[in-house]
Amino acid sequence: MNSRQRAYLGSLASNIDPIFQIGKASLTPEIIDALDSAIEKRELIKVSVLKNCADDPKEIAAVIAERTHSQVVKVIGKKMIFYREAKKNPKIKLPE
């Protein structure tokens, strides 16, 4: 993913609200499964990390991306944006 595509996805994500919150329990298998299915349906999701979570958001983002086979678009403070093209009916067309 190049910087133009990253900027495009970041602009699309600026209009969406976080659909998941990572809290004190950090990443559980249930959260990973839920994130995986949400990314498949939406392609682009935003996740926030709550203040009571002791883990670093960049480390959490790397683990989520690895386990869901998605890409981290941005990590800004305690908000993370992920993208993965849907296997069926992709909606988002990335610029070249």
Among the residues of 1-96, which ranges form H helices?
3-13, 29-42, 57-68
**CATH code at 3-83:** 3.30.110.60
Q: Are 18 and 46 in contact (CB under 8 A)?
A: yes
- Both tokens of 22, joined, read 């990572």
Domain ranges of the chain: 3-83
Mean pLDDT of the chain, nearest integer: 92
Q: Are strands 79-83 and 20-22 parallel, antiparallel or unpaired?
A: unpaired
pLDDT at site 89: 81
Residues 61-87: tens digit of each pLDDT: 999 999 999 999 999 999 999 999 988
Distance of CA 74 to the CA centre of its chain: 8
Q: Are strands 79-83 and 71-76 parallel, antiparallel or unpaired?
A: antiparallel
Q: Are 46 and 16 in contact (CB under 8 A)?
A: yes
